[in-house]
Each structure stands twice: as C-alpha cells, then as structure tokens.
C-alpha cells in the first residue's frame, strides 16, 4: 500500500505544479520560455516531493528521540515505585507434640488421618439422656490414674489446696503433662543452657575463677497454657504450677522460666496467645522462646451434661451437635535466632501470619450463612504473608462434622485455593478427633507444621469450630524445599 500512497503524492505534486503553471500562463496570455517550462514542470514538483520526504524523515527522528528520552526518564520513576513491604517477623515452630485420639505423636496421627482410620466411635462409658452410648473421640490411655498419685504427692509437699478436678479435668491434665514433658525436654537442648548451668553451679560452690567471663544465659522461656473456659481460677492456677514443676523436672531451670501469668491472662484463647507472641517476636532485645499448650476433655458425666444442657451434644435427635473429644497439643516456638540454638530444629516451619475475628451471628443458628468473617481472615493472612492462594500446598482446620462448618470451610478453600483436592489436601481435625476447643485448633496447627515441611510449601490453617471465633494462620517451611 506504500507504493500507491507514493504514486498519489507524486501525482498531486506534478499535477498541482503543472495545473498552476498552465493556468498562470493562460491568464497572462504569454508563451513561457524554456527555462520556465523546466522550472515549473520538472524542478518545482521534484522540490515539493523532496521537501515532503525530508520533513517526514525529520519528524520520525524527532519522535524517536522523544520516545528514548521518555524511556530514560521513566526508568528512575520505575525504580522509585515502592516495593512490597518487608514481611513481619515470624515465629519458628521448633517442635510440636500431641496426645489426641488416634495419635500419641504427630507421625501416628498423620498416618491415621491418611488411612482414614481416625474416626469417632461409640463410647463404652458415657450415655445420653435416652440411655444410648454417645459418639465420642476418646484417648486410648489418658494416664489419669498415675497423674493423680504424682500430683497429690506433689500438692501435699507444696501445701496446696485440693483443686477438686473432675474426671475430664484429670484426663486433660494428664495429656498436658505428657505433652509438656516432651516439649520441655526439647527446649532443654538449647546450646546455651548446659554451659550456663555449669558456670552457675561452679559459682555457687566458689569454684569459678575470678577472671572468668560470664557466659550468655539462655532466654527466659514462657510457659503459656490454655485451659477450657469451664475451669475455675484455682484449678487453672494449680494446673499451671504443676506444669511449671514438670518443665523444671525436664531440665529447664526455674530461674530462666517466666513468672506465672496473672489470673486475667488465663482466659485468653490460643489465637490471642499466639498473636501476642508474634507481636513481640520482632524485638531483638527480647529473645522469644515459648511453649503454648492447650488441654481439655468433655469425657465425664459433668462434661457430657454441660453439652446436653446446651443442646450441643451429638445424638440421633441432634445430628448437628458436637462430638466430644479430649487431649492436649503443644507448640515449642522461638524466634529464628533462638530456634537455631535448639537441637533438631533445622527444618521446622514458620508461623508467618495470624488473623482472627468474630462473626456477627453464631454459626449454630443461622439458616443461610453469608458471614464473611472467615474468608476475610484467610485473605488477610495471605496478604500479610505475601502468598498467593495458588501457591498453597494444603489446608488444615479444626472443622468438625457439622454441615455449617464443613460448608464454610469448603467455601473458603474453593475461593482462595481452588487447585487443592478436598480429599487429599484438606485435613479436618475436628471430624476425626472430636470437638475440644483450642486443643483441636492447636492440633490442626501441629499438622500444618508437618505438612509445610513435607510438602515444601505454605499451608493455611483455619479455625471455625467455635460458634463465633474465626481464625486463620499461614505457615511456611523454615527452609526452602
């Protein structure tokens, strides 16, 4: 098409020159000379075409120069565009421990979940108001009989009052004791602990050279238990004192154990405890080392009675009730610097972000659930961790068997991570191990920790078993796969 345009331009140049010259000569009624014929019929059209061609070339060069200048000028602007904000400090899950139905350890529980063997069963000891066995998730051996003997002896030596635990509380505390002993022993592997203890013993026996440089002490470890809301303040206080004694017996010195929390802090749930640790872990002046542990049990006449009185117990007449569970779960958490000083914590996962909120209405009563609280929490942690939903490797949750909770969970999974297989990539701990408050969610976090390490990618952990509270956490491998 360019050659047609060139012919048209040449025609316009020659036609205009010739037509104008002929019109001029006719109007002046004279014969043009040979030089005029050459000028107006040949030179003028060629001059017009040359001027147009040169002007076009100059315009093209000017445009190219302007474009180059614009590109160079835009480079500093592009460099000045703010990058993504740095990630907030994360807590490393150096170790986890569980004592829950179908698993006295994380490998045992995950094997049961993978084989679909983790299911509630008819209880042989507890019955509903109609005399039928309830469906429950019971520990194979809670160990409450041995705990009673040990704790009663310790309580007598400490001159402490009888807490009047019921059967469910004894079972919960026995599970918590076992979990804490395991995690405290791992904490006692801290590289600074043994040399510091040796130096302190030498100082106490006056065997320390005067010029000996003081060794750095291990960090102050926080022991943060989370108890069910029905536990009374004296019961919580005595249980915490008992756990502190267990941590000391496992090898952690009492002088490097944080003071007991005030009574007001005993009502905090696991999400609030973890959020507080995440907030403080970015301060380099305060090394972070903590054990967060939750314990509970509904498996006593009193526990089943409370659920039945609230119309919250699963029965044939109430299929949307809760299936009671029991157990304990704990996490050994540290900032990355302290985690590097713990034996066996080379892998682990990072608790990168956590977000919680409250529903506007209880999930047990709504007919058609449109509350965005859980989806907002999931979106918030993905944004805070700078993770796209397509990168999620798995989802774990404390979700139980109730239709409202399962539907709510699946809506979030489909929305943020549609690539995941609900059968292979989503683990609902409540449906397998029963409903037990914060124990179920900390168990889901422990499973998410293991999944993040094995799959080598981020894992979303969700809590939606409570009627109102909704929580989401994002875990990623501490080391790239």
Which CATH number fits the domain that encloses residue 148? 3.40.47.10
List the one residue out of 256, 276, 332, 380 whose CA is nearest residue 92.
Answer: 332
pLDDT band at residue 366 using 50, 70 and 90 as cut-offs: confident
Q: Are 240 and 268 in contact (CB under 8 A)?
A: no
206 in a structural domain: no
* Predicted confidence (pLDDT) at residue 81 exceeds the cutoff of 70: no
The predicted structure's pLDDT at residue 234: 93
Tokens of 6: 């060139």
- Rounded average pLDDT over 391-409: 95
Question: Residue 40 domain-assigned?
Answer: no
- Domain assignment of residue 448, yes or no: yes
Both structure tokens of 354: 């956590």
**Residue 428 covered by a domain:** yes
375 burial class (0-12, 13-18, 19+ CB within 10 angstroms)? middle
**CA–CA distance, 397 with 414 (Å, rounded to integer):** 14
- Residue-level pLDDT at 72: 47
pLDDT band for position 18 (cuts 50, 70, 90): low
Do residues 169 and 191 lie in contact, with contact meaning Cβ atoms separated by under 8 Å? Answer: no
pLDDT at residue 60 above 80? no
Residue 75 pLDDT more than 50? no
Q: How confident is the model at residue 137 (pLDDT cuts 50, 70, 90)?
A: very high
For residues 20 and 17, give the distance between their C-alpha atoms in angstroms, rounded to a whole number: 5
Contact 326, 168 (CB under 8 A): yes
* Domain presence at residue 173: yes
Q: What value does the mean pLDDT take over residues 109-127?
A: 93
Q: Which domain holds residue 473?
A: 91-196+214-477
| C-alpha count within 13 angstroms, C-beta hemisphere, residue 109 | 30
Interval 20-46 mean pLDDT: 67
Q: Which two tokens stand for residue 334?
A: 């540290």
pLDDT in tens, 221-273: 999 999 999 999 999 999 999 999 999 999 999 999 998 766 555 678 999 99
Whether the per-residue pLDDT at 364 is higher than 90: the answer is no
342 vs 215, 363, 380, CA distance in Å? 17, 42, 31
Residue 62 lies in a domain: no
Question: Mean pLDDT throughout 204-223?
Answer: 87
Candidate from 235-239, 277-281, 467-471 with smallest mean pLDDT: 277-281
**71 located within any domain:** no
Number of domains in the chain: 1
Of 1 and 153, which is predicted with more confidence?
A: 153
SS3 133: strand
What's the pLDDT at 244? 97
433 inside domain = yes
Bridge partners (DSSP) listed for residue 326: 297
Least confident of 19-33, 182-196, 285-299, 333-347: 19-33
Contact 424, 393 (CB under 8 A): no
Name residue 477's beta-bridge partners.
Answer: 349
């Amino acid at each position: 098409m360019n050659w047609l345009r060139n012919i048209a331009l040449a025609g316009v140049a020659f036609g205009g020159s010739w037509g104008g010259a002929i019109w001029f000569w006719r109007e002046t009624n004279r014969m043009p000379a040979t030089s005029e014929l050459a000028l107006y019929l040949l030179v003028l059209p060629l001059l017009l075409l040359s001027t147009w061609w040169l002007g076009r070339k100059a315009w093209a060069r000017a445009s190219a120069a302007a474009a180059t200048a614009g590109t160079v000028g835009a480079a500093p602007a592009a460099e000045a565009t703010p990058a993504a904000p740095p990630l907030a400090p994360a807590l490393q899950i150096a170790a986890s421990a569980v004592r829950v139905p179908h698993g006295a350890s994380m490998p045992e529980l995950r094997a049961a979940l993978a084989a679909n063997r983790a299911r509630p069963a008819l209880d042989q000891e507890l019955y509903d108001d109609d005399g039928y066995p309830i469906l429950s998730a019971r520990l194979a051996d809670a160990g409450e009989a041995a705990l009673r003997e040990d704790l009663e002896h310790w309580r007598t030596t400490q001159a402490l009052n009888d807490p009047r635990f019921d059967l469910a509380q004894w079972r919960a505390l026995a599970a918590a004791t076992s979990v804490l002993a395991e995690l405290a022993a791992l904490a006692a592997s801290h590289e600074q602990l043994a040399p510091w203890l040796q130096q302190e013993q030498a100082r106490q026996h006056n065997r320390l050279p005067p010029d000996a440089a003081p060794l750095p002490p291990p960090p102050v470890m926080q022991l943060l238990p989370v108890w069910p809301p029905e536990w009374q303040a004296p019961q919580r206080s005595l249980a915490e004192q008992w756990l502190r004694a267990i941590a000391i017996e496992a090898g952690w010195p009492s002088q490097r154990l944080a003071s007991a929390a005030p009574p007001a802090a005993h009502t905090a749930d696991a999400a609030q405890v973890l959020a507080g640790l995440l907030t403080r872990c970015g301060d380099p002046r305060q090394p972070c080392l903590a054990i967060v542990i939750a314990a509970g049990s509904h498996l006593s006449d009193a526990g089943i009675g409370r659920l039945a009185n609230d119309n919250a117990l699963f029965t044939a007449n109430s299929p949307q009730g809760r299936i009671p569970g029991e157990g304990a779960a704990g996490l050994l958490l540290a900032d990355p610097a302290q985690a590097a000083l713990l034996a066996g914590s080379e892998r682990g996962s990072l608790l990168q972000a956590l977000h919680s909120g409250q529903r506007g209405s209880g999930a047990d009563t709504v007919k058609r659930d449109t509350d965005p609280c859980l989806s907002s929490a999931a979106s918030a942690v993905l944004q805070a961790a700078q993770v796209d939903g397509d990168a999620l490797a798995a989802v774990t949750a404390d979700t139980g068997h109730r239709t409202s909770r399962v539907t709510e969970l699946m809506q979030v999974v489909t929305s943020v991570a549609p690539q995941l297989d609900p059968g292979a990539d989503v683990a609902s701990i409540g449906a397998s191990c029963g409903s037990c408050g914060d124990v179920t969610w900390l168990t889901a976090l422990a499973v998410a920790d293991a999944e993040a390490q094995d799959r080598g990618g981020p894992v979303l952990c969700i809590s939606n078993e409570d009627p109102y509270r909704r929580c989401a956490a994002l875990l990623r491998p501490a080391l790239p796969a």
